[in-house]
Homo-oligomer: A and B are copies of this chain.
Amino acid sequence: MEKVTMADVAKAAGVSKSTVSQYLNNRFEYMGEKTKQKIEEAIEALGYQPNYIARSLKQKRTSMVGIIVANIMHYFSTEVSRAIEDYCNHHDLHAIVCNADDDPEKEKKYIDMLRAKQVDGLIIFPTGQNNQLYENMIRQGYPVVFVDRKVQNLSVFSIVTDNRESTNRAIQQFVAKGHRRIAFAVQPLKVSTRTERFEGYQQAMKDAGLEINPDYVIESDIPGMKSKLEELFSLEERPTAIFAGNDRVFLEVVRCLRDKGLKIGQDIELVVFDNIPFAQVVETPVTFIIQPASEMGTKAAELLFEQINKVDREPEEFVFPSKLV
C-alpha cells in the first residue's frame, strides 16, 4: 500500500519529477498542455497521493499549528479552540489540539512534542508553571500566542478577559440586590484568571463595606470541592449568594445544592464565570459571565498567523470584555 511516489508518476507520464512537482504546485505558466494532461492521467491511473511529510522536510514548514489547552473539560477552551480551527481552515493551516490536563509536566511534554513535529506555531493556555520553557521559545523567536491566562514578565502576545472587572460587577450586582453573605468558590489560586477573579470579589466586597467571611471562601481542586461546599452549605448562617469560579466549579455547586435540597434562585443566588451551554436551555435562574470565546480564539489565531508569516511587531496583551447574562 501507499507506495506510489512522484517518481512513479513521472515515469508513467514520461516526464521528470520536477515537472510533476510543478504541476502539483499549480505552476502551469510554462507548461505544455499535453504534458499537463499526461501527468493528470498518470496521477489518476496510479492513484497518486503526494507525501506532505517529504514536502514539509524540504520547505521547513508543516502548515500545522498546535493548541495546548490547560484543560479540555472547560467549555470555554473548546469554544476558543473551535474558533482557532475555523480561522486555520481558512488559511491552509491545520490545528492540532492537546490537553495539558492542568499538569505542567504534560504541558511540557506536548510543547516539546509539537515542536519536534515541527508545527509552525503554538497557541497555549498556559499552566503557568513552565516559565523557563516559555521564555526559551519566545527568545528563539518561535511563534507563540498565550490565551486565557497571563504569565509574568514575558514579552508575548496574549489574549485575556477582564476577569477582575467582570467579577467585580457580578458581585456588585449581588450587593445591589441586597445580598450580604456572598460566597466565592474557586480552584487553587495558581493562575492569573483565578487570582484576578478573587481580587474582583475582594474589591467589590470592600467597596460595599462588607467583611469577607473566610468560611465563605472556598479554594479547592475539583475532587475536594464537594466536601468543602457541603460544609459551607451546612453553616448556621448560610451564604445567600455564591460565585462559582468556572464551569466545573459550577457543576460541583449545582450538585451540592441539589443534594442539600436547596433551590437556586430561591434559597441561594448563583453567578458562574463561563458559559454553560445546556444550562441556558433549562430554566435555571443563574447569571453567567460570558467571555467572547470565539472572538478571542480568532484573534489568537490571527496573531499567530502574523508571526508565522514573519510580520514583526511588538507583543501586546489584548483584553476582551466579558458580559453578564
Contacts and interface: CB of A to CB of B under 8 A. Distances in A.
Interface of A: 1-2, 47, 49-54, 56-57, 62, 85, 94, 96-97, 99, 112-113, 115-118, 136, 140-142, 251, 254-255, 258, 276-279, 281-284
Given A52-B117, A251-B278, 16 more contacts: A1-B140, A1-B142, A2-B142, A47-B136, A51-B116, A53-B53, A53-B62, A53-B117, A53-B118, A57-B57, A94-B96, A94-B113, A96-B96, A97-B97, A255-B281, A258-B283
A258 B284 contact: no
Contact of A251 (B136, B141, B254, B281): B281
A283 B258 CA distance: 8
Contacts of A50: 116
B49 A53 contact: no
A33 B189 CA distance: 46
State the oligomeric state as a number of copies: 2
Nearest to A117: B52
B281 A51 contact: no
Among A116, A254, A282, find the residue whose CB has the most chain B CB atoms closer than 10 A: A282
A63 to B, nearest CB: 9
A49 B115 contact: yes
A52 B140 contact: no
Contacts of A117: 52-53, 94
A18 to B, nearest CB: 19
Nearest to A137: B1
A15 B160 CA distance: 48
